[in-house]
A and B are shown apart, each in its own frame.
Chain A
Amino acid sequence: QKEVEQNSGPLSVPEGAIASLNCTYSDRGSQSFFWYRQYSGKSPELIMSIYSNGDKEDGRFTAQLNKASQYVSLLIRDSQPSDSATYLCAVGYDTGGGNKLTFGTGTQLKVEL
């Protein structure tokens, strides 16, 4: 059973602060990791993908991956009210016939004015 764990939150941060979202996964063989943002009633939107240990930055977003600890995180700098959403961590695993994604239950982020 491939598992992806996230704290459901809500995580509340003031506008302009750094939001830190965390995720752990169970399959040591996983090689691909993703963060999706999902607004209420909408479908997920891809924010970041990361495949190698270390940090990957894209604008206000930084994804961090530590395969040894089976841990992936997402930092959002200068948080804005529009960042308020549920953030889904997804981990890819090889089925032998192609990769599938397992999703965590998501962390709800609230950015307060």
Chain B
Amino acid sequence: GAVVSQHPSRVICKSGTSVKIECRSLDFQATTMFWYRQFPKQSLMLMATSNEGSKATYEQGVEKDKFLINHASLTLSTLTVTSAHPEDSSFYICSARPSGRAGDEQFFGPGTRLTVL
């Protein structure tokens, strides 16, 4: 149990375009999902917390107008990188915390590697 999928796994786009990444919890419901970014040789940095039915909460320094998050259902959250630039190239990983379960465990999706040319 606790499987999270992410799509696409890899995307290459031109500078200035927008990219949408989907995160789905496959066998559980998740009121809360999280979006992380990981640069090479660095640890995971939390970008934002996605709450079903309400606005996302962004970490300091993360532009909410650039990284649009929508958590439309208890199993789906999307991250849209708008007007992507080469510095946005990174490994984007979502995680989900099962609803109604004791504990704070987060289960990660396989990640999306974004390359902006």
Contacts and interface: CB of A to CB of B under 8 A. Distances in A.
B108 to A, nearest CB: 4
Number of contact residues on A: which range applies? 20 to 34
Number of contact residues on B: which range applies? 10 to 19
B105 A100 contact: no
A49 B108 CA distance: 14
Interface stretch (A12-20, A53-61, A70-78, A102-110): A102-110
Contacts of B34: 100-101
A29 interface: no
B108 A92 contact: no
A108 to B, nearest CB: 10
A42 B111 contact: yes
Contacts of A99: 104
Specify which of B106, B107, B109, B111 lies most central, judged by the most chain A CB atoms within 10 Å of its CB. B106
A43 B109 contact: yes
Given A43-B93, A43-B111, A103 B106 contact: no
Q: Which 3 A-B pairs have the closest CB atoms?
A: A43-B111, A32-B104, A43-B108
Given A44-B93, A46-B105, A98-B49, 18 more contacts: A32-B104, A34-B105, A34-B106, A42-B110, A43-B110, A44-B108, A46-B108, A49-B103, A49-B104, A51-B103, A98-B32, A99-B104, A100-B49, A101-B104, A102-B46, A103-B43, A103-B44, A105-B42
20 contacts: A32-B104, A43-B108, A43-B109, A44-B108, A45-B108, A46-B106, A46-B108, A49-B105, A51-B103, A88-B44, A97-B57, A98-B32, A100-B46, A101-B46, A101-B104, A101-B106, A102-B46, A104-B43, A105-B42, A106-B43
Interface of A: 32, 34, 36, 42-46, 49, 51, 88, 92, 97-106
